[in-house]
């Protein structure tokens, strides 16, 4: 049996990751807190999904009211 090929490394500014990596967030952040956490890493968030459920999309004005919602609560409601 062959070993898997290593995944491509994605690099952005001083941060790098692969599709095998995970970023674990503590406490169940709000949508706004998650977006800020990503922005602090130099990343721009356009959408947040959980499985097939779209939790947030910056292009949908109705989603702006979700900024103060906890990701876990929103995921259970929408998914």
The predicted-structure confidence for 42-74, as pLDDT tens digits, reads as follows 899 999 998 899 999 999 999 999 999 999 999
Under 8 Å between Cβ of 16 and 10: yes
* Residues 51, 28: Cα–Cα separation, whole Å: 17
pTM of the entire predicted model = 0.80
Q: Is the pLDDT of residue 25 over 90?
A: no
């Amino acid at each position: 049996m062959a070993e898997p090929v290593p995944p491509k490394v994605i690099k952005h500014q001083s941060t790098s990751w692969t599709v095998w990596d995970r970023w674990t967030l503590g406490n169940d952040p709000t949508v706004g807190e998650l977006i800020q956490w990503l922005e602090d890493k130099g990343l721009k968030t356009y959408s947040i999904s959980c499985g097939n459920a779209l939790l947030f999309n910056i292009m949908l004005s109705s989603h702006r009211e979700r900024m103060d919602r906890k990701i876990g609560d929103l995921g259970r409601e929408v998914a």
